[in-house]
Chain A
Amino acid sequence: MLQPTNVPERPQRRVGAWWGPAVGISALGFYAATTVEDSAGREIGFNADHPWAVYAFMAALVGLMGYGFVRHAGLWMIGRPAPGILREVPHRLRNAARLGLAQDKVRRDRYAGIMHWCIFSSIVVLTIVTAQVAIEADSPFKFLHGPYYLFFSFYGDLFGVIGLVGVGMALYRRYLSDFHRIRWDERLEDHLIIVGLGLVLLTGFVLESARIMVTELDQHPDWAKWSFGSYAIARGLDVFSFSEQQILWLHTWTWWVHIAMAFGWLGLIVFTRLDHLFFAPVNAFFLRTDSPGRLAKIEDIEQQEIFGVGYIQDFTWKQLFELDACVRCGRCSEVCPANISGQPLSPMHLIQDLKGHLADVGTAIQRHRHETGDAGREVSSVALAGDVIKDETLWACRTCGACMQECPVMIEHVPTIVDMRRFLVMNEARIPATAQAALENLEMRGHPWRGTALERTTWMEGLGDVPIFDGSQEYLYWVGCSGSLVERNLPVTKAVFRLLGESGASFGVLGQEETCNGDPARRLGNEYLFQILAQQLIETFKAKNVQKVITNCPHCFNTFKNEYPQFDGHFEVFHHTEFLAGAMQSGKLVAKHAVNTTVTYHDSCYLGRLNGVYDAPRQIISMVHGADLTEMQRNLSKGLCCGAGGGNMWQEEVGERRVNHVRAEEAVRTGAQSVISNCPFCIQMFEDGVPAVHPEEEGRMKPFDVAELLEQAVFGPGTR
């Protein structure tokens, strides 16, 4: 098996990897505890005059949570149905466990991962600890004695300390470091949550140490040591030689403060982002089970009264639900190419603005529905798309999926943004002029490249006989509009064509009969046009008996692979890098010639992040002798978009910088001679971006497709 060279090791994400040490320490503790005498134990409810108060607080909390749930649920329910959300339950449960409980996404930021695990595990374990105390106190089951009592004391303290470590890390990040993203939308509740939790944990320790000073420190010092945290505090306080009365007084007051603060803190769940405690794992359950590259189909589009989302109640209830899961951590905006470039889109603020709008108008819509039974679109005079979320915000999205990849609570921003675009385009016909031109061109000419002087067959010139697909060949080589109509992409098409031929593959092309598969229309929000183009092409494919498709372009790849099945178009789809890597591995393609060069590799979003193809292109590069790969800092699933995605290929950018300049800078920084990609858009963006950030012509980095590199390695340099 060939391994790609120089690829940074991808972290292995095992479920609950960080529980390992905790379980190990606990097991050791349990073993140690079994070695001591059986009589260990303590009086439950020691010195508490009003233990019932706990249940009073609890009842209040449950009531509050019930109120909170009903209030939230009422708002979610103004949304449209979310079909299919209860399909594939096992898969969804796995997601809830992996992404919700094990917090795979949280850990993509290592510091936050450790911090969050400390806090999360501490709260879980200490809740279990408290529950055991309640059972011991108020049920016939008595088990807090002997070795288990000591072990119980030990892990209670252990997770108390772990919780404080987490709180310390959070305090450091929020107040001492210059860590920006968590301050992009900082609110009072953020301080309350973290300071409150720290105080709950600290008062817990003080409480326990006061009890230990009275009941264990002198009487059973070997028991006391198991509560190592409180034991240390007790020993410290012991220096002051307080009277027992004073300690009992301290205990009583700390008890009240601790209980009140603990329940008060839990009450924050209802009113603050702490509700992610429940919403995050549930949203992981609701997370799509299909490819993130697929956009939802509008069923029976001609029967709709409204197209896309123009009002908050046009979202599905799942889309409204996930607004509540947002914790304002800023991870989405930190990786968003538009935000990075100072363009008017920050996914976090978009989600928060939607959430705020829902809170503003949701109740009124609910009431209106209840009274009149109609959709209540005129309840608010504020338009969702345009007023709450600005048009230019929606157009700045690259649909690159970086936000969704990073979101620790599994919010799906891109479908939400495209839903609003759909409204702008289909309902309101409000589109940036250049994007409109691309859409009109799709309608009139079946390709988005207005003004091209090329024909679909121009690339074939000089290549001899180009086989036209007639159903007898195994593969259809899908050239795509860029591959045939954009000057710069023609050499890539030729390279793939020659390599396919060399590999001995049986394939043909459609030539003049190719038409756009609709990807730009769908990304730009014209679902209607997309459906027309898709259905036409699927009919053509079926008529020609197409089974397997090799695409030039990752956008075509994604559309055929993930979106055509929505229209009963099922084809086996390969991106050219996948096919060529396979042909090399099976020895059908041999890179005979060395190409001595240094390269860096740019993951296109639609091949990489949205379809998980990271290895094939890197394998090809690694099998080219002499090609030395240096990775960019942002790569693989963290790769940055070239700027063209989501129909931005056909839009004027607004904002401080162009995304392709930012990305070109990152590529140039590697010092490599060329930047290799796999997508016609990326290559065009680099062709424009590299000269902008590296004005001197001499020694300037050159953008190439993987196939262009491989062509040189297979046929020798300059053989075409």
Chain B
Amino acid sequence: MHIVVCAKQIPDPETPPSAFKIDAASNKVIPAQGIAPVLSQFDAIAAEAALRIKEANPGSKVTVISMGAESAQAAIKQVLAMGADEGVLLNDPAFEDGDSHTTATVLAAAIKKLGDVNAVFCGRQAADWDMGQVGLLVAEDLGWPAAIIAKGVTTGGAGLQITRVLENGFESLETPLPAVVTVSNEFGEPRYPKLPQIMAAAKKTVTNWKVGDLGLDPGAVGKAGSRLKLEKLFIPEKGGKVELMEGDTPQAQAAALVARLMADKIL
């Protein structure tokens, strides 16, 4: 069993609000000074799901792939430290500023290049843009079945047995392999890496594939291939307004308040 985990490095969701800034001209988030990007938590959970299957099925292998900047090596190393076997970084300027669709194109190409993959695990969504599309689009590109927002994944039956989280209940599925699964936070906490594995991960080399390695047309990926256009990125302004009710007596103030609330159709 060979499972690929797709991992994304994102700006730290715990960046203090005061340090979160946006460049309106380029519609981009300005990386906060001194705050390092982190592995998206949902992807760490997807890695946990993959590693549990690996442990339950001796001889299995987990490969982590990440499309992103050179710094995304850290996210790959983190999953390697958790127990993944190999890491692939998809780092190319051509991949930058794409949308979910181009990201899926690149990831699917890498998965095809790996060849013997039985399953792809993604987080239910990336914790920065929260689109939740890449997993499904990868499945589309590969032509594989997909199950999203899983709280349980085990091997069994035709291939994988999956419990999905629905709005008011759970859904149990069985899918043949190969397949794509996106894993939700209900699955459980990702493991804390053991030091021997951290040190082993530090020694592993991460493969780096460029657009040419994947046989992709640079015009079909990144900004060039993107179909989604970002119109405006902005931090919503939050405000409060205080209005004091006039009146000489508490009764008068209360009457004024009631009148005001009725005028606003709240009462």
Q: Judging by beta carbons under 8 Å apart, are A433 and B17 in contact?
A: no
A458, CB-defined interface residue at 8 Å: yes
Q: Judging by beta carbons under 8 Å apart, are B14 and A445 in contact?
A: yes
B16, CB-defined interface residue at 8 Å: yes
B239, CB-defined interface residue at 8 Å: no
Q: Which residue of A lies closest to B196 (CB)?
A: A427
Report the separation of the CA atoms of residues A426 and B36 in the bound assembly, to the nearest whole angstrom: 24
Q: Judging by beta carbons under 8 Å apart, are B191 and A458 in contact?
A: no
B258, CB-defined interface residue at 8 Å: no
Chain A residues near B198: list those with CB within 8 A.
Answer: 528
Chain B residues near A458: list those with CB within 8 A.
Answer: 16, 18
Q: Chain B 14-42 against A: per-residue CB contact (8 Å), 1 yes, 0 no? A: 10111100000000000001111010000
B116, CB-defined interface residue at 8 Å: no
Known: A427-B196, A439-B192, A440-B192. A455 touches B19 (CB 8 A): yes
Q: Judging by beta carbons under 8 Å apart, are A429 and B199 in contact?
A: no
Q: Chain A 452-472 against B: per-residue CB contact (8 Å), 1 yes, 0 no? A: 111110100000000000000
Question: Closest CB of chain B to A575's CB: distance in Å?
Answer: 26
Do most interface residues of chain A lie in helix, strand or loop, or is the interface mixed?
helix
A387, CB-defined interface residue at 8 Å: no
B128, CB-defined interface residue at 8 Å: no
Report the separation of the CA atoms of residues A433 and B14 in the bound assembly, to the nearest whole angstrom: 18
B189, CB-defined interface residue at 8 Å: yes
Chain A residues near B194: list those with CB within 8 A.
Answer: 426-429
Q: Judging by beta carbons under 8 Å apart, are B34 and A429 in contact?
A: no
Q: Judging by beta carbons under 8 Å apart, are A436 and B192 in contact?
A: yes
Q: Which residue of B lies closest to A454 (CB)?
A: B16
Question: Closest CB of chain B to A311's CB: distance in Å?
Answer: 16
Report the separation of the CA atoms of residues A458 and B19 in the bound assembly, to the nearest whole angstrom: 10
Chain B residues near A426: list those with CB within 8 A.
Answer: 194-195
A450, CB-defined interface residue at 8 Å: yes
Q: Judging by beta carbons under 8 Å apart, are B199 and A455 in contact?
A: no
A451, CB-defined interface residue at 8 Å: yes
B176, CB-defined interface residue at 8 Å: no
Question: Closest CB of chain B to A272's CB: distance in Å?
Answer: 41
A497, CB-defined interface residue at 8 Å: no
Q: Judging by beta carbons under 8 Å apart, are B12 and A445 in contact?
A: yes
Q: Judging by beta carbons under 8 Å apart, are A453 and B16 in contact?
A: yes
Q: Chain A 507-534 against B: per-residue CB contact (8 Å), 1 yes, 0 no? A: 0000011000000000000001000000
Report the separation of the CA atoms of residues A254 and B111 in the bound assembly, to the nearest whole angstrom: 93
B193, CB-defined interface residue at 8 Å: yes
Known: A427-B194, A429-B192, A436-B192. A445 touches B35 (CB 8 A): yes
User: Interface residues of B, CB < 8 Å — how many?
Assistant: 20
Report the separation of the CA atoms of residues A539 and B192 in the bound assembly, to the nearest whole angstrom: 27
Chain B residues near A320: list those with CB within 8 A.
Answer: none
Report the separation of the CA atoms of residues A397 and B242 in the bound assembly, to the nearest whole angstrom: 50
Known: A445-B14, A450-B14, A453-B17. A429 touches B193 (CB 8 A): yes
Chain B residues near A440: list those with CB within 8 A.
Answer: 192
Known: A427-B196, A429-B192. A452 touches B16 (CB 8 A): yes
Q: Judging by beta carbons under 8 Å apart, are A451 and B34 in contact?
A: no
Question: Closest CB of chain B to A305's CB: distance in Å?
Answer: 9
Chain B residues near A456: list those with CB within 8 A.
Answer: 34
A307, CB-defined interface residue at 8 Å: yes
| 8 Å CB contact of B195 from A307, A431, A444, A450 | A307
Chain B residues near A513: list those with CB within 8 A.
Answer: 34
Q: Which residue of B lies closest to A458 (CB)?
A: B18
Q: Chain A 121-138 against B: per-residue CB contact (8 Å), 1 yes, 0 no? A: 000000000000000000
Chain A residues near B192: list those with CB within 8 A.
Answer: 425, 429, 431, 436, 439-440
Q: Which residue of A lies closest to B74 (CB)?
A: A444
A698, CB-defined interface residue at 8 Å: no
Chain A residues near B35: list those with CB within 8 A.
Answer: 445
A302, CB-defined interface residue at 8 Å: yes
Chain B residues near A445: list those with CB within 8 A.
Answer: 12, 14, 35-36
Report the separation of the CA atoms of residues A275 and B124 in the bound assembly, to the nearest whole angstrom: 63
Chain B stretch 151-206: residues in CB contact (< 8 A) with chain A:
189, 191-196, 198-199
Question: Closest CB of chain A to B209's CB: distance in Å?
Answer: 26
Report the separation of the CA atoms of residues A427 and B17 in the bound assembly, to the nearest whole angstrom: 37
Q: Which residue of A lies closest to B192 (CB)?
A: A429
Residue among B12, B18, B33, B191 with the highest chain A CB neighbour number at 10 A: B18
Question: Closest CB of chain A to B192's CB: distance in Å?
Answer: 4
Q: Judging by beta carbons under 8 Å apart, are A429 and B191 in contact?
A: yes
Question: Closest CB of chain A to B124's CB: distance in Å?
Answer: 20
Report the separation of the CA atoms of residues A429 and B34 in the bound assembly, to the nearest whole angstrom: 28
Chain A residues near B38: list those with CB within 8 A.
Answer: 444
Report the separation of the CA atoms of residues A439 and B14 in the bound assembly, to the nearest whole angstrom: 15
Question: Closest CB of chain B to A533's CB: distance in Å?
Answer: 14
Question: Closest CB of chain A to B138's CB: distance in Å?
Answer: 27
Known: A307-B195, A444-B38. 15 other contacts (CB 8 A): A425-B192, A427-B194, A429-B192, A431-B192, A439-B192, A445-B12, A445-B14, A445-B35, A445-B36, A451-B14, A454-B16, A455-B18, A455-B19, A456-B34, A458-B16
Q: Which A residues are closer than 8 A to B by beta carbons?
A: 302, 307, 425-429, 431, 433, 436, 439-440, 444-445, 450-456, 458, 512-513, 528
Q: List 10 A-B contacts (CB under 8 A).
A: A428-B194, A429-B192, A429-B194, A433-B189, A439-B192, A445-B35, A452-B16, A456-B34, A458-B18, A528-B195
Top 7 A-B pairs, shortest CB-CB distance: A426-B195, A429-B192, A429-B194, A512-B34, A455-B16, A436-B192, A453-B16
